[in-house]
Structure 1
Amino acid sequence: MPVWKRNLIVCWFGMFVTGLGMSQIAPILPLYIKQLGVDNAESVAQLSGIAFGITFIISAFFSPIWGKAADVYGRKPMLLRASLGMAVVIGCMGFAHHVSVLIALRLLQGVITGYGTACTTLIATQTDHEHAGFALGTLSTANIAGSLLGPMLGGVIAENMGLQNSFFFTGIMMLIAFMTTLLFVKESFVREHKKTLSMKEVWSLIPEKSLTVVLFVTFFVLTVALYSIEPVITVYITQLSGPSSHIAMLAGLTFSASGLANILAAPRLGKLSDKIGAQKVMLVSLFAAGILFIPQAFVHHPWQLMVLRFLFGLTAGGLVPSVNILIKKITPSRLTGRVFGFNMSAGYLGVFGGAVLGGQVAAWFSIRDVFWITGALLLLNAVWVYLKVYKTMNHVSTATDAQS
Structure 2
Amino acid sequence: LSQSAWMIIGMRFLQGAFSGYINNAAALIAGETPHSKSGWAMSAISTAGIAGNLVGPLLGGVLSGAFGYRVPFFITGFLMFCLFLSTTFLVKERHFKPIKKEKMRPIKEVMAEIPNRKLIFVTFLTTLIVMASSMSISPIISLYVRQLMHNHGNIAFVAGIVAATPGLGTLIAASKVGHTMDEIGPEKVLRIGLITAFILFVPMTFTHSPWSLAFWRFLLGLANAALMPAAQTVLTLNVPTEAFGRVFSINQSFQAGGAVFGSLLGSIISGLSSYPMVFAITGLTLLINFILIVLVQPKKPATN
What TM-score, normalized to structure 1? 0.71
Within 5 Å, which residues of 2 pair with 1:334-353? 334-353=242-261
Residue 163 of structure 2 corresponds to residue 230 of structure 1:
no
Q: Which of 98, 123, 132 in structure 2 is aligned with 1:191?
A: 98
Separation (CA, whole Å) in 1 of partners of 2:54 and 2:113: 38
Q: Deviations over 1:246-283 (max 9, x none)?
A: 11111111111011111221221111011011111111
1:344-382 per-residue CA deviation (whole Å, 9 max, x = no partner) reads 111111112111111110001100100000000001111
Corresponding position: 1:325 with 2:240: no
Residue 118 (structure 1) aligns with: 24
Structure 2 letter corresponding to 1:386: V
Distance 2:6 2:212 in 1: 42
Contact 1:133 1:267 in 2 (8 A): no
CA deviation after TM superposition for structure 1 residue 191, in Å: 2.2
Give the match for residue 5 of structure 2.
99
Q: Report what 1:166 is aligned to.
A: 72
Report the Cα offset of residue 245 of structure 1. Answer: 4.1
**2: distance between equivalents of 1:142 and 1:185?**
17
How many Å separate the matches in 2 of 1:182 and 1:210? 36
DSSP 3-state at the match of 2:139: coil
Between 225-234 and 205-214, the greater mean CA deviation after superposition: 205-214
Matched, 1:377 2:282: no
- Correspondent of 1:153 among 24, 36, 59: 59
Q: What pairs up with 1:3-402 in 2 under 5 angstroms?
A: 95-188=1-94, 189-192=96-99, 194=101, 195-389=103-297, 392=298, 395=300
**Structure 1: gaps spanning 5 or more residues:** 1-94
Tell me the distance in 2 between the aligned counterparts of 1:244 and 1:336.
51
Q: Secondary structure at the match of 2:138?
A: coil
- Compute the RMSD of aligned alpha carbons: 1.8
**Amino acid across the alignment from 2:13:** L
Conservation of the 8 A alpha-carbon contact between 1:158 and 1:166: yes
> Equivalent residue of 1:260, what SS?
helix
Among the aligned pairs, what percent are the same residue?
37
Residue 373 of structure 1 aligns to which amino acid in structure 2? I
How far did 1:231 drift? 0.6
1:148 CA drift (Å): 2.3
8 Å Cα contact 1:135-1:267 kept in structure 2 = no
Q: CA deviation at 1:160?
A: 1.1
**TM-score, normalised to structure 2's length?**
0.94
Deviations 1:130-189 (A, max 9, x none): 221111111111222222222222222111111111111111111121122123211132
Q: Deviations over 1:182-237 (max 9, x none)?
A: 23211132125552344544444444321111001111111111111111111110
Deviations 1:380-399 (A, max 9, x none): 1111111113xx1x63xx79
Question: Which amino acid is the alignment partner of residue 294 of structure 1?
Answer: V
Q: Give, as a single letter, the amino acid of the residue that structure 2 aligns with 1:351.
A: A
- Distance in 1 (CA, whole Å) between partners of 2:8 and 2:107 is 33
